Amino acid sequence: MFAAGIIFLVMFFAGMLGSKYKIPGVIVFIVLGLAMSPFLGDSELLHFVGEIGIVLLFFMLGMEFPLKQLLKVAKKVTPAGSLDVVLNIGVTFLICWLFGLGLIEALLIGGVVYATSSSITAKLLESNKRMANPESEFILGLLIFEDLVAPVLVAILVGLTVGAGLSGGDFAVLMFKVIALTIGAILIGQFIFTKLRNFFERHLSTDVFIMFVVGLALAYGGLALYLDLSEVLGAFLAGIMIAEVRKTEQLEHLIVPVRDITLPLFFLWFGTTIQFGEGVPMIPLLLTLVVWGIVAKLIVGIVGGRMYGLSNKVALRAALSLTQRGEFSIIIAALATAELMVFSSVFILATAIIGIVFFQFAPQVANRFYPSKKPQKVRLPG
């Protein structure tokens, strides 16, 4: 109890200091976790509470996407998502192979480089009040695409790293799980939650209703984990289910306080996972991949954004908002050897910090490249 109080107080003062110097809270808590890792160690409780914050974050995102809008976004984002896979997994794999790494090690690092951090990006969109911007739908759609690909990639890598491989049957089972979880959420939303609007109206103002809402998010996220999928995907689908009630604004007021006290703990835990060991290995490859990781996400954002239908200016804003890596990269890095874990941890930390800085300055940079046209003054005759 005493230790928990100290952790929250330290986080408070660190957050206040970050606000004073306009440093995003995400960076503050990651660096704080890195500094406190000798004292916190591998805290399963810290990880668990932080995961609740992640689940609630994506549950709330799901509530913003009615089914028709989600299907529209999925169709539009597939070309950009495919480009993302080719550049960040495929080309990274080739770079690592050219640097002399084995096939499995190269694929592992390709997985680390692949996914933009869903948690960091969603938090930044919200805290910077860019959730209503035109690029946010594209960014969130791309993140969900990655969240569908990443569990498949993790399953393949688990099979390869344990030496068992992944058979065609195993892959088919994995895809069946993803499809079944998605269809289940759609059917529950359409046939059950559409009929629960009166129930929500009667009980929404009660003190215990938060238990029902958070329980639903955690249960469907936990079901996804039980199926060896991502809890982020499960939470997002749970949000889609409850969106059919059409009470998003009222539900958000219930969830936000719980999310805001648990989500920062995820970033603190993330910082504690970064272990430097005896030094950073393969520095030339690391520098190459940091640069390539930035370039690849810029290409995905600009080219993919244009495919999606964004303007050049909005696509550039999106591109500058995709560099940060996070939770899926950590999961994949945990499958690697100690040396590759250190390598991957440094890559994740570097791209997280660079990506957050890029995100902050994205609107200004986009305005510099594509300045808004000022309306011309009309001269009156005489």
First and final C-alpha spacing in the chain: 79
- 46 token code pair: 């810290």
With bands split at pLDDT 50, 70 and 90, how would you rate the model's confidence at 162? Answer: low
Measured CA to CA, the distance from residue 108 to residue 118 in angstroms comes to: 19
So what's the pLDDT on residue 145?
Answer: 84
| Residue 234 neighbours by CB under 8 Å, 6+ apart | 55, 181, 220, 221, 222, 223, 224, 225
pLDDT in tens, 285-331: 999 999 999 999 999 999 999 999 899 999 999 999 999 887 778 77
Q: Minimal CA–CA distance to 346: which of 297, 258, 277?
A: 277
pLDDT at 382 over 60: no
Q: Minimal CA–CA distance to 54: which of 259, 336, 275, 272?
A: 259
The answer to whether 314 and 134 have CB atoms below 8 angstroms apart is yes
**How far is CA 115 from each of CA 43, 125, 157, 218, rounded to the nearest angstrom?**
25, 17, 15, 23
> For residues 282 and 167, which has the higher predicted lDDT (pLDDT)?
282
Measured CA to CA, the distance from residue 359 to residue 320 in angstroms comes to: 6
pLDDT in tens, 184-240: 998 998 889 888 888 888 888 888 889 999 999 999 989 988 887 778 778 888 988
So what's the pLDDT on residue 151?
Answer: 64
Q: Is CATH 1.20.1530.20 correct for 57-369?
A: yes
> For residues 48 and 25, which has the higher predicted lDDT (pLDDT)?
48
So what's the pLDDT on residue 160?
Answer: 61
> For residues 332 and 199, which has the higher predicted lDDT (pLDDT)?
199
So what's the pLDDT on residue 288?
Answer: 95
Percent of the chain scoring above 70 in pLDDT:
90
Mean pLDDT of the chain: 83
* Residue ranges covered by each domain of the chain: 57-369
pLDDT at 97 over 90: yes
